[in-house]
Amino acid sequence: MKNFQNKAKLSTYISLLKDRGTSIGFVPTMGALHNGHLSLVNQGLSENDIVVVSIFVNPTQFDNKEDLVKYPRTLEADIALLKTVGDDRIIVYAPTDEDIYGDNIKSQTFTFDGLEHEMEGAFRHGHFDGVGTIVKRLLEIVTPDAAYFGEKDFQQLQIIRKLVELHHLPVKIVGCPIHRADDGLAMSSRNARLTPKHRETASFIYKTLKTAKKKFGTKSAQGVTEWVTEQFKNEPLLELEYFLIADVKTLKPVKRKSTKKAYRAFIAVYAGDIRLIDNIALN
């Protein structure tokens, strides 16, 4: 498996591949890879000749210093895991902060037609400027035909679609279904940091989302939101940060349901000091 740390060398190698007509898929990650990432890589491998996987804990998208410091970094294990799915068709790009940012670790400021102000944007200040900055840079370095993102970070996915549209980046963005553990918890690198008790209780999040989906058939968005809020009051190990039902296109909270629109329920929860997010399609 080829492994690059330097963007110029990677770009040169990718240019050679493209000259030979090789199609390139791209899976950007922050490492601590799990089966959710592997499902993105596998989808990339099924649709492209080669898949580039970037492994880079992007400092500019963390609004919380401690979260950045404690974010798991497991490069060797990540590479070993990638080898199990496609040793000769995967390229790893694991740059240093300097290779990406030089000596100026700062994000650009973006607007994404207002998508950036909702949910994660409201609770994690500057997060989507950081995500926009790194994803734009990585897309410019890797120049893939298609890039794969998980629907667990659904708002991020919609923002990246908007980034590509607004900046005319020549890449197809592919959203991939959420990968879940057997008990329903959405796979996330942060799950590894849950205490056993919190890990056990965290399955409550998806269970609640599934029931919320059922209730949305007969109740208003407000009614469902009140019900969910009530459920979390009875679950002392989990602290609800937000639950809301939003239009999938605008990500604005729904006021009155329309049969012509598609909705999703979004949730952010603290399990101890670990912040977990999840979402579910409602119609």
Which residues carry out catalysis?
Answer: 37
Nearer Cβ to ligand PAF (33/254): 33
Are the CB atoms for 93 and 4 separated by under 8 Å?
A: yes
**134-153: contacts with ligand PAF (CB under 6 A):** 134-135, 153
Per CB under 6 A, the list member of 33, 90, 115, 131 interacting with ligand PAF is: 131
Q: Is 118 in the site for ligand PAF (CB under 6 A)?
A: no
Q: Is the dihedral of CA 51, 145, 20, 28 positive or negative?
A: negative
The nearest distance, CB 172 to ligand PAF, in angstroms, is: 16
Give CA separation, 101 vs 7, 98, 138, in Å. 11, 5, 11
Number of amino acids touching ligand PAF (CB under 6 A): 10
Are the CB atoms for 154 and 197 separated by under 8 Å?
A: no
Which residues make Cβ contacts (< 8 Å) with residue 154, sequence separation at least 6?
175, 248, 264, 266, 279
Nearer Cβ to ligand PAF (81/237): 81
The nearest distance, CB 161 to ligand PAF, in angstroms, is: 13
Per CB under 6 A, the list member of 4, 24, 25, 29 interacting with ligand PAF is: 29
Residue 282 corresponds to which tokens in the numbers above? 């409602």
Nearer Cβ to ligand PAF (135/280): 135
Applying CB under 6 A, the span of 108-116, 128-136, 190-198, 267-275 interacting with ligand PAF comes to 128-136
The CA angle 156-158-159, to the nearest 5 degrees, is 60
Are the CB atoms for 264 and 251 separated by under 8 Å?
A: no
Q: What residues make contact with ligand PAF under the rule CB under 6 A?
A: 28-30, 58, 61, 131, 134-135, 153, 156
